[in-house]
Amino acid sequence: MAVGEFVEATLHPVKGVKIGVAEAGIRYADRKDVVVFELCAGATSVGVFTQNRFCAAPVQLSKQHLARTQSRYWLVNTGNANAGTGQRGLDDALESCLQLAGLTGADVHSIQPFSTGVIGEFLPMDKLLPGIKQALSNLDENHWSRGAEGILTTDTRIKAASRQFKYQDQLITVTGIAKGAGMIMPNMATLLSFIATDAAVEQSVLQDILTIVANKTFNRTTIDGDTSTNDSCMLAATGRSKTERMISSESALYQPLFDAIYSVSLELAQGIIKDGEGATKFVTVEVTEGKDEASCLDVAYTVAHSPLVKTALFASDPNWGRILAAVGRAPVDHLEINRIKIYLDDVCIVSNGAVDPDYREELGQGVMDQDEITIRIVLGLGAASETVWTSDLSYDYVKINAEYRS
């Protein structure tokens, strides 16, 4: 189940990136579960990773390798997270990189491994290693959709987006894919995302772009308040578009490229929420007129994480008291309830510390019956504003996670 009609995006190939996919049978038969990205020589790569202290072996190794040299290959497997696996997990992650390095001649440090799936189980190396060879056999610049399929776990549909724009008669492309459906919360979530552009970008500038973009997109999503051990988001710039020179923060090309990467990332992040485990609602929580960014986010996440709010959303029940109560318990010292207004879309439900005098149940019901809803909270304290995206909490969410290892 997912929110809204699925329309598969047109994915433009990125010059300097090829993708190969394999069915290795890591957890399920006849399912794409190994993906290899090949990046051209000279490509620049950066990443942001989970802040979970139990970060998985591939995350640890990817960070170490990325600190030493540029990426030539990203190696992804699904069905097994290789997390909570100690030294053996690190050894297995390294062995997979050594296998890929041996087959391609690449420096082992130029390979970043990524895994997603069940925590606490060892990688089935007898399946993964042959899968790497199989994936290499079908590398192609047009395999973005196949790659998007190959990184899914409990997702019901692929997440993929692509943008193109012209600069001085040169066509520049940004294309990305992601996976994620549950254990979704900021910093980061249970997501893997791989984005590439054919522009040439200084590494420090590319890192700044990814950090800012991830903070405003992937780190503004929440389904269930859980942060995974394996979250990784990678961004590569191949430099194959032949623009005049390397993009710096002062370049005329910086802003249009930033906007394209942001747009792709936002579409991927919102796609994850729309495909949240058991989701029937896509919910935007906007907090405006806050004192600062932190307090706006505290209020937004208190509402977005509330099981009572989320179950009311699933029931399409305009039980606005649950939203009011969540706002009131947000960890913000300076809230003044008489200044706060709360809206469902454009329907004001709370003002001056109580139900709005013009509110009618049928107005709230009309909004709650929609698949996509905005909860807007006006704090009346300042000029700061923040937005997060979430979903409802359904019977299917419980079933999916209760049977996750079945």
Task: Report, as residue numbers or ranges, the catalytic residues.
Answer: 190
The type of residue at 209 is I
Helix (H, G, I), strand (E, B) or coil at 375: strand
Query: 3-class DSSP state for residue 187?
Result: coil
Contact 336, 381 (CB under 8 A): yes
Instruction: Output the six-digit token pair for 104.
Output: 């391609």
Q: Scan for tokens 């939203």, then name that residue.
A: 323
Q: List, in sequence order, every beta strand (DSSP E) within 104-250.
A: 111-118, 159-167, 170-179, 192-197, 232-237
What residues pair up with 192 in beta bridges, in sequence order? 179, 232
- Phi, psi (5° rounding) for residue 331? -75, 60
Distance, C-alpha 247 to centroid of its chain: 25
Q: What is the largest CA-CA distance in the chain?
A: 71
The SS3 of residue 38 is strand
DSSP H or E segment with residue 20 = strand 17-22
CA–CA gap between residue 195 and residue 11 (Å, rounded): 12
Q: In angstroms, rounded to a whole number, what is the distance separating the alpha carbons of residues 28 and 96?
A: 19
Distance from C-alpha of 268 to C-alpha of 193, rounded to nearest angstrom: 8
